[in-house]
Amino acid sequence: MNTTPQKYLITVIGPTAIGKTALAIEIAKHFKCDIISADSRQFFKEMNIGTAVPSKDELEEANHHFIQNISIFDEYTVGDFEREAITKLDELYKTSDFAVMVGGSGLYIDAVLKGFDDFPDIDPSIRAELVTNYEQHGLEYLQQELEKRDPVHYEKVAKENPQRLMRALEVSIGTGKPYSSFLNQKKNTRNFTPIIIGLEADRELMYNRINQRVDIMVNNGLLEEAKTLYPHKKLNALQTVGYRELFAHFDDDCTLDFALEEIKKNTRRFAKRQMTWFKRNEAAAWFDFKTVPQEIINYIEMKR
């Protein structure tokens, strides 16, 4: 007897600037369903150009959720997203057998697909102290502390990402147990069947698309947007590519040309890390980014 839930979450993954949004909209239109965004940078209403939020026309083509739904001043974690996304899916499945999830934030994608590891609440003062130490002593301080407190997780973590380092440290400090000890616990069951679609491109082509997107962002007003956010540059939400580099320029630490080249370089590095993360998912079916949407839709229909 087949007990597989007959609800489907069609998930579109891939690196930044690869065309995930356009494909997700075509899939949602075909299956007459809604889209859940799992791009953690697009959650924030104050961040628009630098996060490549879908255009007004794109948002009107399909009903989107979790796009610019919170403020940079709000505390929002991947655990919050998991709970809210699952609640939203339960609601959507009352009227449709399908939903689409799209985004480039691998941790957020995995939290919805597989469940998020159950971490205890941590005293906020621990994170505040870590931020202060990071600002005073730099990335190397975080790396050394994590290597000392949790060498197992240190070997796996993205060592250039201060937010990941601080998250692991605050759990390790706040609980007295290594962050890695909370990982790989029993996950929650899901009431949907995932169908995972990956988009990819030749690396050089992907990098060219990223460079072009940054140029478009600048033409669309990225500098002006960054200037409005500059007074709040220490907020966690703004510790991200596209803003951090411009903040350094506003601080007179570098020229504008250098800052823009840094955005392109750091976005390319981010895309490489995204692909490394997503390629670990053996359930994903990968397509060239130029594949016509109907071919991918046909594949999804066969997987039902």
pLDDT in tens, 52-71: 999 999 999 999 999 999 99
Q: Is 238 helix (H, G, I), strand (E, B) or coil?
A: helix
Q: What pLDDT band is residue 75 in, cutting at 50, 70 and 90?
A: confident
pLDDT in tens, 199-234: 999 999 999 999 999 999 999 999 999 999 999 999
What is the CATH architecture of 124-182?
Orthogonal Bundle (1.10)
Cα 104-28-271 angle, rounded to 5 deg: 15
* Residue 289 predicted with pLDDT over 90: yes
* Residue 35 predicted with pLDDT over 90: yes
Helix H or strand E encompassing 37: strand 35-37
* Residue 20 predicted with pLDDT over 70: yes
256-279 core/surface letters (b: 16 or more CB in 10 A; e: else):
eeebbebbbbbbbebbeebbebbe
Q: Does domain 8-116+187-303 have CATH number 3.40.50.1820?
A: no
Q: Binding site residues for substrate, as ranges?
A: 16-21
Q: Please state the separation of Cα 231 from the chain's center in Å.
A: 24
Q: Return the DSSP state at 100.
A: E
Residue 2 pLDDT? 47
Whole-model pTM: value is 0.81
Angstrom CA distances, 95 to 7, 68, 90, 92, 250, stand at 11, 24, 10, 6, 49
Q: Rounded to whole angstroms, how far apart are CA atoms 8 and 194?
A: 6
Whether 11 and 197 have beta carbons less than 8 Å apart is answered as yes
Residue 1 pLDDT? 40
Q: Binding site residues, as ranges?
A: 14-21
Pick the closest to residue 62 from 7, 116, 101 (CA basis). 101
pLDDT averaged over every residue in the chain: 92
* Residue 48 predicted with pLDDT over 90: yes
Locate 178 and state its tokens.
């290594």
Q: Where in the chain is the domain with CATH 1.10.20.140?
A: 124-182
pLDDT in tens, 109-134: 998 998 866 677 788 889 889 999 99
Q: Rounded to whole angstroms, how far apart are CA atoms 104 and 18?
A: 10
pLDDT in tens, 76-94: 888 889 999 999 999 999 9
Q: Rounded to whole angstroms, how far apart are CA atoms 119 and 128?
A: 18
Mean pLDDT of 133-145: 92
Q: Rounded to whole angstroms, how far apart are CA atoms 219 and 190?
A: 43
Q: What pLDDT band is residue 297 in, cutting at 50, 70 and 90?
A: very high
Q: Is 35 helix (H, G, I), strand (E, B) or coil?
A: strand
pLDDT in tens, 233-266: 999 899 899 999 999 999 999 999 999 999 999 9
Q: Is 206 helix (H, G, I), strand (E, B) or coil?
A: helix
Residue 3 pLDDT? 52
Whether 274 and 81 have beta carbons less than 8 Å apart is answered as no
Q: Where in the chain is the domain with CATH 3.40.50.300?
A: 8-116+187-303
Q: Is 255 helix (H, G, I), strand (E, B) or coil?
A: coil
Q: Rounded to whole angstroms, how far apart are CA atoms 263 and 269?
A: 10
| Burial of residue 32 (number of CB atoms within 10 Å: 0-12, 13-18, 19+) | exposed
Angstrom CA distances, 122 to 107, 255, 280, stand at 19, 39, 30
Q: Binding site residues for ATP, as ranges?
A: 14-21
Number of neighbours of residue 118 by Cβ within 10 angstroms: 11
| Burial of residue 147 (number of CB atoms within 10 Å: 0-12, 13-18, 19+) | middle
Q: What pLDDT band is residue 160 in, cutting at 50, 70 and 90?
A: confident
